[in-house]
Structure 1
Amino acid sequence: MREKRFTNSLRITKTARPGRNSVREVVLVDPRPRTLDVIMDPETRARFEALGHLVTSEERRMPDEIVERHLPETVLVVGQTDLPAERLARAPHLKAVFNVETNFLPNVDYGACEARGIRVLTPASVFASPVAEVALGMAIDLARGITAADRDFRNGAERYGLAGNDGTFRFAGSTIGIIGFGDLGRELRRLVVPFDNPVLVHDPWLPAELVRRHRAEPVSLDDLLRRSQAIFVFAAATSENSGFIGAREFGLIQPGAAFLLMSRADVVDFPALLEAVGNGRFRAALDVFPEEPVPPDAALRAMPGLLLSAHRAGGTLDALHDIGRMVVADAELILRGLPPQLCRRADPSTAARLRSKPIAVT
């Protein structure tokens, strides 16, 4: 086939769909930086390959020439293909776009998709449970000094009993603050129910009534920072909130509190965060960084008061396989003329404000 001269990873899989012989249905599969083996178990992969004629490029982004060649017959796009309005106009049969990177990137004209009835979807909710689970574990670690005590012990500097708990606090019953109350924040709120924490929430995109339904108190950012002993940042990066937690905000945090950055590094003033931690004002856990991979000589690697995680909170095998399951299940519904039930649909009014950047690793 002519496509094979562009890349060995580009291929077409032809399958027959009962009752659909009049139109050749093409599924463009352009999933980089992910691959199908990462997001689909064998059973899901078999269901996926039954959706139509797959045109797949996994080792690199699909060449524009191949995208353009197949647009007139494409019914689904699975991946992060550039889809400006003029390209969408050349795809009269396109029904849905599944972003399997799980961010709504700025390379799609969301308004044009809505106008043409094309659903743009992401299975991002798959990461809510694993990220919230790690966030809870790291919060307890910071509160009780678990990793710090382990390091002291290994260095022969352990302290026993009350002395070994200097500067710690009980996580159970402590007031916690959640900044950003989407899938991640709501899952964290569900996980902490047994700990009987008063929960404060700051999310300017949500009405107070919704926050209260989750047995949480809607508050301003300043109020949350002042009152919380453990602060979880799950906020998405938008065109309005770059570095919105900076030196002034860090100065509001209680001495000895725990601060957990679990969403996007861009929402904080990162140098100001490191300065506050370096001064001993509070401890912090970081799963995301302005530059990834973090440079080997980065000062934060040796900084006391930091609990570090290499952007791994959500990347469990079961979560990644759930991406494939959700995409295939919703794709099957859409091709039957039914609405999707599992993936989140992009709203042009919010997608245009997001500043998601392509991820560097799977």
Structure 2
Amino acid sequence: MPDNKKPLVLSAPWPRTLELLFTAPALAKLRAENEVLEVEPEEISRLAPEVLGRARYLIGQPALSLEILQAMASLHCIFNVESNLLDNMPYDHLFVRGVHVVTTGQVFAEPVAEIGLGLALDLARGITDADLAFREGRELWGADGNVSARLLSRADIGFIGFGDLGKALNRLLLGFRTRVKAYDPWLPPSVLRENGVEPASLDEVLSGSDVVFVVASVTSENQGFLDAHSFARMRKGAALILLSRAGVVDFPDLIEAVRSGHIVAASDVFPEEPLALDHPVRRLKGFLRSAHRAGALDVAFKRMGDMVLEDMALMDRGLPPMRCKRAERETVSRMRSKPVERN
């Protein structure tokens, strides 16, 4: 028999699992302090009204109708553990009721920032190409191997977007003494300046940077906004590094800008994942590829579980969540990222 004195937690975190998100001790704590009901996302609509009515927390980001949410009268918080706030539930209803919608996505900021720095260094110094050449016996020694190399130190760096990922990457760049500009229409200039970054227009970032990091989320307003015109404004030989979501870039235009030799690029994300084996980007010279693996570290996933437990403890005491990032009513409905299908 269920212990109805414990809070009921509905768990539907597909494609993730509780075992992925929680360490063994943390998962034991979750189960000891709560009644945990694990279901597939599509099964939520078939739960009995009594079960829906008792649910205090939901771990996951399933599509939820207004009818189902109205039945969840005791709901305190939805913990989105996918990292993207999906346009799949009536957020206005949740805000009116005072139900928190939070995301644990900031756990990916550090690991993605580290791989972003690695991609920038690789493009600047040709590390991967030099290694492949060495394996094939066609390496160039000394200065002959540095014809197109450049320093990241003291370079002009541009950010498109400056959320958790931008801040984490900017911290890593401090030792390189770079000059950093950022374009983020969702932030006041003072926030950028407080992080040692110069506020700039999109054109200033594109035209004035040796390396441009794209870390903006996909919204209803910016899908494909980085296009051929954008890439043409970049410095010849500059690098564009895409770390957030492919939806903000016109990918055929990016491919052509790299193929022409105007810029080099790197990306951890792609329009379709996995890419077709005959996709042109697979063999594109000047393009460094990473298979959406930048943030997918076990240590990051396990931090999600810790954040969920800490915020549950606060809400059980009548306090607001503090560890996870809360969705904002003005912006959540604009998010347009595709849901992930694999970890």
TM-score > 0.5, shorter chain as reference = yes
Instruction: Name 1:93's counterpart in structure 2.
Output: 74
Q: Does 1:156 align with 2:137?
A: yes
**Partner SS, residue 271 of structure 1:** helix
The change in CA–CA distance for 1:176 and 1:277 in structure 2 (over 3 A counts) is: same
The alpha carbon displacement at 1:360 in A equals 1.0
The alpha carbon displacement at 1:158 in A equals 1.3
Q: Report if aligned partners of 2:247, 2:337 keep a CA contact under 8 Å in 1.
A: no
Alignment of 1:1-362 (within 5 A): 14=2, 21=5, 25-57=7-39, 61-66=42-47, 68=49, 70-362=51-343
Distance 1:208 1:175 in 2: 19
TM-score (normalised: structure 1)? 0.91
The change in CA–CA distance for 1:89 and 1:234 in structure 2 (over 3 A counts) is: same
The alpha carbon displacement at 1:282 in A equals 1.4
Q: Report if aligned partners of 1:27, 1:51 keep a CA contact under 8 Å in 2.
A: no
**Partner SS, residue 284 of structure 1:** strand
Distance 1:160 1:107 in 2: 55
- Which of 124-133 and 89-98 deviates more? 89-98
**Partner SS, residue 262 of structure 2:** coil
Distance 2:43 2:306 in 1: 23
Q: Report if aligned partners of 1:28, 1:77 keep a CA contact under 8 Å in 2.
A: yes
Q: Report if aligned partners of 1:76, 1:94 keep a CA contact under 8 Å in 2.
A: yes
Task: Give the CA RMSD over aligned residues.
Answer: 1.5
Distance 2:131 2:171 in 1: 29
The alpha carbon displacement at 1:337 in A equals 1.2
Instruction: Name 1:8's counterpart in structure 2.
Output: none
Distance 1:35 1:67 in 2: 23
Distance 2:217 2:48 in 1: 30
- Which digits, 9 at most, give the CA deviation of each residue in 1:40-65, with x for residues without a partner? 1101101211332211025x643521
Q: Report if aligned partners of 1:33, 1:359 keep a CA contact under 8 Å in 2.
A: yes
Give the letter for the 2:7 counterpart: E
The change in CA–CA distance for 1:205 and 1:67 in structure 2 (over 3 A counts) is: farther
Aligned length: 343
Give the letter for the 2:235 counterpart: Q
Structure 2 residue runs of 5 or longer lacking an equivalent are none
The alpha carbon displacement at 1:67 in A equals 6.6
- Which digits, 9 at most, give the CA deviation of each residue in 1:316-339, with x for residues without a partner? 110010011101111121122122
Give the letter for the 1:357 counterpart: K
Distance 2:54 2:281 in 1: 51
Distance 2:42 2:26 in 1: 22
Distance 1:36 1:95 in 2: 19
Structure 1 residue runs of 5 or longer lacking an equivalent are 1-12
Instruction: Name 1:3's counterpart in structure 2.
Output: none
Q: Report if aligned partners of 1:175, 1:227 keep a CA contact under 8 Å in 2.
A: yes
